[in-house]
Every structure is written in C-alpha cells, then in structure tokens.
Amino acid sequence: MTEVVWLDNGVLRLGLVPALGGRLLSLSGPEGRDVLWRNAELLTDDLALRGEHRPVSGSLGDWVNYGGDKTWPAPQGWDSDEQWAGPPDPVLDSGRYAVEESAGAVTLTSGDDPRTGLRLTRRFELPPGRSAYRLTLTAQNTSDRVVRWALWNVTQLDGGGEGGTYVGGPPRVTELLAGTGFPRWEPVGRGPSVYVPHADVVGKLGFPAATGWLAHVGGGITFTQRFTVDPAAEYPDRGSRAEVWMEHPLPEPLAELGDLDPPARIVEVEVLGPLTTLAPGASTTLVLDCAVTAASAGAGPVREVTADGHWTDAGFVTYGEGS
C-alpha cells in the first residue's frame, strides 16, 4: 500500500504521498471537490498506486507525471551542471521523502541530491477553521561545494473547460517556451493583473513583474497563492517570479521537448524564489500561503489576494470565519 499522510481541519483536506517525491496529490475544498489535477491512470481516488513506482531519470518523455503539487530547483535545463536536468530525477522529483508529523503540520524531506547538492523540505501547516494552508519550502546545500539555485513550486490543475489564471502585477509578460505555441494573455485593469485563459497549447509564460499572488479559477473553485517577492533579487528564467505552463494531449510526443507526451489538459501555476548562492550547509526558504474557496458565478476577475481572503467585483471572499 502507498503511504498517504492526511491533514484535515474540517474545511480543507490535504493528501500527501511521501514516496512520490513528497507530492501533495489531493486537496479537497468546497463540496469535497478536488482542486488538483492528478493522473487517474496512475493513482486511485484514495491515492493508491495502480502499478509499481520506481525513481527514474532521463528525458521529459521518461517522466511519470502523477500530478499534484511538488517542489523542484530552478533553473531547469540540460546544458550544464548549473541547470536542473529534470523532471524526471531519482531524488527530488521521484524519490522518497521522509515524514515528520506534528499537530496540524506535516514536514516532508527529500534525500540529498548529489547533482544539485540540495536537500528539499516541504512543510504543510493547516490551521483550524480556515480554507487556507501554509507551505514553507527550504533548500539546503548538503554538498561540500558552493551552489546557486532557486526554489520552484509547481501546482498542476485541470486545464479543461472554462477558466484561467490571474497573476498579480503589471502586464509585463515573457514568452519562455513554445512546444506548440505560447498561451495567450490579457491585461486586467484596476489591480493590475494579467489573465491567462485555458487553451489547447503547449507552452509557458513568465511574469517578471509579478507582485506576489496567483489565482486560478476553474471548475467552480478558486485556488490562490500568496508569496513574497524581492524586487532587488535575480530570478530564473529571464527574471520570472511566477510562471504559467499549459499542455494538452497531442497526436504524438513533442520531439523538440524530449518526447514530452502530455496526458491531459493541464495548467501549471508556478512560484519561484530568487536565485541564491549557497555555501555548504546554507539554505534558502520560500513561503506560499494557499487557499481554496468556491468560485461564485458572476463574481468577475480576482482583483487582489490578501492573507484573509481575496477580492472580486462581487466583494470579498474570506478564508476564515467572518468577513
């Protein structure tokens, strides 16, 4: 049986699978609907594996995409040792993470990765009575050399049907990667923010002017993330503080992307920390405050995300009791 660690406060329920790269693979919010996309061909509804899992390395075409929420190092690439050549990789992406449980919290810790020199830690804290949780990410240099990396959190959501992602900040958008094309986007005033609607495209956008929040709306659910940005810091991927990736099933794998073969319509909302030079034993941390609410019909765009809730044209949506 696959080990699953559950966090439940009566409002949200989180399902974590340590053996699969420390992934969050279930996030149930309003009306019990799951927020995350996960691969139903590989996992049952209770997160049991349908087959055998083995840590793997190789090209994108070899990646076993379980879905959910995971943490990787950035920048990604295959040209030098200063780039993370994954996914897949056998330690940080598909290796087993150690588990430590305490009241209202679970900490997952990777093994020591010899290629990057990193050990990753993912700590989930779920306070009582709130539709929000905190994810604290740490990357520690466990090697005997100086390394330079950024933390990179990737959340996979259902990219089918109506919906899209709002990125807080002015409309400065970088076209990063086109498998079949770039996702389209449009500015949203009175915020400001950028909206990236669902589309059948394989490609990625970066947001170098992101101000510290994302909101994905789809399937009757709004999923938000808040994070701190450092305007003076250097970020990966041409300065991207946040990114949105989309993919959809194709007639054949994309040879130019390592034979990537998308299993479904997926949108990834991605948060990046600054590039940080780490001496042996040093660490860097990135905190994400995440929340799940029902998306009210006709509420309009998400205008702003705060610690206690988010604003739409219809008013304030709270993450706790009161308003």
Could you tell me if residue 322 is inside a domain? no
> What pLDDT band is residue 160 in, cutting at 50, 70 and 90?
very high
The answer to whether 22 touches 16, Cβ cutoff 8 Å, is yes
279: left (phi over 0), alpha (psi -120 to 50) or beta: beta
> What pLDDT band is residue 322 in, cutting at 50, 70 and 90?
low
> What pLDDT band is residue 31 in, cutting at 50, 70 and 90?
confident
- SS3 assignment, position 270: strand
- The reported pLDDT for the residue numbered 302 is 95
Range of the domain at 181: 5-307
pTM, two decimal places: 0.97
Residue 65's identity, in one-letter code, is N
Whole-angstrom Cα distance, residue 221 to residue 203? Answer: 24
Residue 213's identity, in one-letter code, is W
The domain spanning residue 111 has which CATH number?
A: 2.70.98.10
Could you tell me if residue 314 is inside a domain? no
- The reported pLDDT for the residue numbered 201 is 98
Whole-angstrom Cα distance, residue 94 to residue 18? Answer: 10
Counting residues of the chain whose pLDDT is more than 70, the rounded percentage is: 98
- The reported pLDDT for the residue numbered 1 is 62
Q: What is the pLDDT of residues 212-270, one digit of tens each?
A: 999 999 999 999 999 999 999 999 999 999 999 999 999 999 999 999 999 999 999 99
Q: Read off the pLDDT of each residue in 62-70 and give the average, rounded to a whole number.
A: 96
- The reported pLDDT for the residue numbered 12 is 96
Write the CB contacts of 299 (distance below 8 Å, at least 6 apart in sequence).
Answer: 312, 313, 314, 315, 317
Could you tell me if residue 317 is inside a domain? no
Could you tell me if residue 270 is inside a domain? yes
Q: Read off the pLDDT of each residue in 175-196 and give the average, rounded to a whole number.
A: 95
Could you tell me if residue 312 is inside a domain? no
Mean pLDDT, the chain, rounded, equals 95
